[in-house]
């Protein structure tokens, strides 16, 4: 697999009147084409900052982000972003929510419309195209948010704790749903989560960040036997708890060092 995304020696500080906060320090890693990378780390270690740097909402102070080997700011790659809150507009129907991005970009033609109807059908929202977001369950809303993001045909998908606002039951099934959708479509994706089980159940590799300032502690390869290779099934696989313990230990050593 070739590298889709390369992060090289990235550092970032927030500057405020009250002082400077070093959020990330010398981060390097890569995401291969079609790979699903999860990023875990303690709260406040710079995970959201990292995503903002990757999609260009923030400019790195040091280091570089390359997409297909080209500096991000020169690349024409489309980066999709999905957040904890789904940001669906209540005054628009489900269809006009998922088509919003394309509409803004003036790319909503008949072919695109047809594709959207098709995706809504495939992902169980066919009967809800004319509904309002408030008529959907939490899981359905996240699926709608995903379709809206996928409609823009992103080369890379950045997911910032997209399931954390859902209740536990829903979270399990939505996580299963969404990661299966991404895998089938062979999307390169980076998922931020504070939930270790979630990371193990979806990722090809897991990047562990230290407490602030975030540094790469380790990158863990995650492999499951084929019959377990789906999020809900992975949770029942014999390897699961070994991965969990390994991650837990990585995160714990961090606490011990910082007091
Ligand atoms: N806009 C900002 N201004 C100043 N400090 C910020 C800002 N955003 C985040 N921070 C600080 O930077 C650190 C990393 O934040 P963040 O990337 O949101 O962490 P995470 O997503 O891992 O919880 C935190 O200590 C946070 O308080
Ligand atoms: Mg965050």
Q: Which helix (H) or strand (E) holds 32?
A: strand 19-32
Burial of 29 (0-12, 13-18, 19+ CB in 10 A): middle
Token pair belonging to 181: 């959708």
The residue-averaged pLDDT of 16-30 equals: 95
Q: Specify the ligand 1 atom closest to the Cα of 45.
A: 22
The pLDDT, as a whole number, for residue 86 is 80
Q: Is the CB of 27 under 6 A from ligand 1?
A: no
Cβ atoms of 61 and 52 within 8 Å: the answer is no
The pLDDT, as a whole number, for residue 201 is 92
Task: Output the residue whose Cα is nearest ligand 1's atom 26.
Answer: 44
Q: Is 124 helix (H, G, I), strand (E, B) or coil?
A: coil
The residue-averaged pLDDT of 45-56 equals: 94
Residues in the chain: 259
Q: Is 41 helix (H, G, I), strand (E, B) or coil?
A: coil
Report the separation in Å between the CA atom of 193 and the middle of ligand 2, taken as the mean of its atom positions: 8
The residue-averaged pLDDT of 102-123 equals: 92
Nearest ligand for residue 58 CA: 1
Q: Is the CB of 58 under 6 A from ligand 1?
A: no
pLDDT band (50, 70, 90) for residue 259:
very low
The residue-averaged pLDDT of 29-45 equals: 95
Q: Is the CB of 21 under 6 A from ligand 1?
A: yes
Strands 36-40 and 156-160: unpaired
Render pLDDT for 163-183 as a digit per residue (tens, 0 to 9).
887 788 888 888 888 888 888
| Sequential DSSP letters for 55-78 | HTSS--SEEEEEETTEEGGG----
Strands 205-209 and 188-192: unpaired
The pLDDT, as a whole number, for residue 139 is 86
Q: Is the CB of 42 under 6 A from ligand 1?
A: no
Q: Is the CB of 46 under 6 A from ligand 1?
A: yes
Only one residue has tokens 């992975």, namely: 234
Task: Output the residue whose Cα is nearest ligand 1's atom 9.
Answer: 49
Q: How far apart are CA 215 and CA 208, in angstroms?
A: 8
Give CA 135 to chain center in angstroms.
Answer: 25
The pLDDT, as a whole number, for residue 250 is 92
Render pLDDT for 181-226 as a digit per residue (tens, 0 to 9).
888 888 999 999 989 999 999 999 999 999 999 999 999 999 998 8
Give the number of other Cβ atoms within 10 Å of residue 236's Cβ.
8
Q: Is the CB of 23 under 6 A from ligand 1?
A: yes
Nearest ligand for residue 83 CA: 2
pTM score? 0.90
Q: How many CA atoms lie within 13 A of 120 on its CB side?
A: 23
Report the separation in Å between the CA atom of 225 and the middle of ligand 1, taken as the mean of its atom positions: 38
Q: Specify the ligand 1 atom closest to the Cα of 52.
A: 17
């Amino acid at each position: 697999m070739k590298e889709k995304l390369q992060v090289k020696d990235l550092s970032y500080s927030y500057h405020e009147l009250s002082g400077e906060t070093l959020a990330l320090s010398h981060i390097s890693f890569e995401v291969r084409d079609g790979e699903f990378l999860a990023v875990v780390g303690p709260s406040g270690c710079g995970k959201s900052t990292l995503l903002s740097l990757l999609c260009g909402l923030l400019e790195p102070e040091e280091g570089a982000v390359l997409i297909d080997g080209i500096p991000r700011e020169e690349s024409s790659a489309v980066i999709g972003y999905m957040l904890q809150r789904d940001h669906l507009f209540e005054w628009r129907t489900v269809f006009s929510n998922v088509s919003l991005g394309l509409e803004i970009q003036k790319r909503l033609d008949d072919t695109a419309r047809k594709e959207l109807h098709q995706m809504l059908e495939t992902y169980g929202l066919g009967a809800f195209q004319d509904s309002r977001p408030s008529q959907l369950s939490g899981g359905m809303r996240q699926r709608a948010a995903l379709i809206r993001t996928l409609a823009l045909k992103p080369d890379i998908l950045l997911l910032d704790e997209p399931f954390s606002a859902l209740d536990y039951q829903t979270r399990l099934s939505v996580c299963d749903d969404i990661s299966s959708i991404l895998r089938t479509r062979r999307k390169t994706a980076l998922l931020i989560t504070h939930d270790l089980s979630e990371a193990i159940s979806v990722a090809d590799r897991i990047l562990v960040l230290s407490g602030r300032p975030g540094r790469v502690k380790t990158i863990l390869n995650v492999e499951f036997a084929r019959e377990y290779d789906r999020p809900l099934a992975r949770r029942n696989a014999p390897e699961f708890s070994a991965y969990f313990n390994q991650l837990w230990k990585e995160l714990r050593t961090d606490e011990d060092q910082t007091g």
